Each structure stands twice: as C-alpha cells, then as structure tokens.
Chains A and B, each alone.
Chain A
Amino acid sequence: DTGVSQDPRHKITKRGQNVTFRCDPISEHNRLYWYRQTLGQGPEFLTYFQNEAQLEKSRLLSDRFSAERPKGSFSTLEIQRTEQGDSAMYLCASSYVPSGKNIQYFGAGTRLSVL
C-alpha cells in the first residue's frame, strides 16, 4: 500500500506565473485534504474533498487558488498569478471515512518558492 504522493517536490516560479501541484492519495481513501505550511508554523487547512465533491474551503483559499479532484482519485491545486506570499510548503493528506479515527496521512509536500 503506497502512501500519499505529491508532485513536484519543489517548484520555483516567478511572481505572476501560474503553478499546479498534483496529489495522489492512498488508494481507496475517499477524503483528500490540502494544507499550507509556512516556515515555523504548523500546517493550515485549505480545502478538502470527499470523493469528487469539494466540501469545505477555508478563508485562506483566495480566488487565485482552485482545487479539483476529478473522478475522486488524484487532486490538483492551482495557484494563479502567484505572489511572494504564496511561498510555502503545500501538503496533501488523505483519509478513509467511515473509519472512526479518520486519521489523515500526509504526503511529503510540494515546496513552492515565488521569486
């Protein structure tokens, strides 16, 4: 059973460019989450999907951010017109509900640097 996979691991871009990250969850996990982690802080929730439905978005997810999970499998997170403040680690996690504990298993993250 492979873990959560994220691609790319590192992304360097110039301000104003669009970037897209991919997350492949653990197979058969029906929930998928995106978090953002800045230096010296814990991860902060961005959004989550149950199957293909995006059920919750945090206020951190500005209009420049969009996430999809077509067919309820992998997910993509796109940031349009990147800003320097978008520089962070973007973490993806997946879980299986209706497991009572609903433990979220994380990938290794994509580290974004906006120049």
Chain B
Amino acid sequence: AQKITQTQPGMFVQEKEAVTLDCTYDTSDQSYGLFWYKQPSSGEMIFLIYQGSYDEQNATEGRYSLNFQKARKSANLVISASQLGDSAMYFCAMREGRATGTALIFGKGTTLSVSS
C-alpha cells in the first residue's frame, strides 16, 4: 500500500484564487512529520511547510496552510491567493517516527497550473 497518496495529477486555478492540494498518508506510528515541497521546472525541491503529528494547531507559513485531519490521515495543502509563480509540481512527504532512519517518503505529486 502506498504510504503517501496524492490523487490529483493536475490542478488548474486562476490568479488570486485559493487552491487545495490533497494528501492522505498511511502509518501506524504515533510520532511522524508531514511535509510539503514545491518543485518548479528548474528541479529544486523547495520546502514549504511542516506539520508534526502531535501539533494541535494547523501549520501556516505565509500563503501556505496545512489542513491536518489526523483521524482521516489527511494533510492537505491550502495555497491562498495563488500567483503565477506558484505553477509547479507539489509533493507531500512523510517522515515516520522510526528509531533509525529519517528518510522522507514522497507521494507522486500534483502539478499546479496558475493562469492569469
């Protein structure tokens, strides 16, 4: 079974609109971290936002917020007021609370296209 599922291969939004990118995860660990990264066509993975499994508040970073629903095992990324520069691939990732190893497990990504 996939650990990270991103069901939207592509999303289209107009400038200044809000958009939600979906992510569901699967883990039996109680302690884990959830991450979102942005990958423009240049290739670099840019860290956007982090949510710890014990964090009671949803994480926010500027125009990015993470809608964390622990019981549903979902960690959706909300981008408010989309900009043309937001067009990129977005990856959801998880770090499980294992005793050894801190590898990130990534989903397959969602391509976001922002139009004017």
Contacts and interface: CB of A to CB of B under 8 A. Distances in A.
Question: What class of interface size applies to chain A in its complex with B?
Answer: 20 to 34
Contact of B33 (A41, A102, A106): A102
A75 B101 CA distance: 18
A48 B103 contact: yes
B35 interface: yes
A43 interface: yes
Interface residues of B, number: 25
A85 interface: no
A43 B33 contact: no
Contacts, number: 63
Contacts of B43: 89, 108-109, 111
Interface of B: 4, 33, 35, 37, 42-47, 50, 52, 91, 93, 95, 100-109
16 contacts: A33-B103, A35-B104, A40-B108, A42-B4, A42-B107, A43-B45, A45-B103, A45-B104, A48-B102, A56-B100, A97-B102, A101-B52, A102-B33, A104-B35, A108-B43, A109-B43
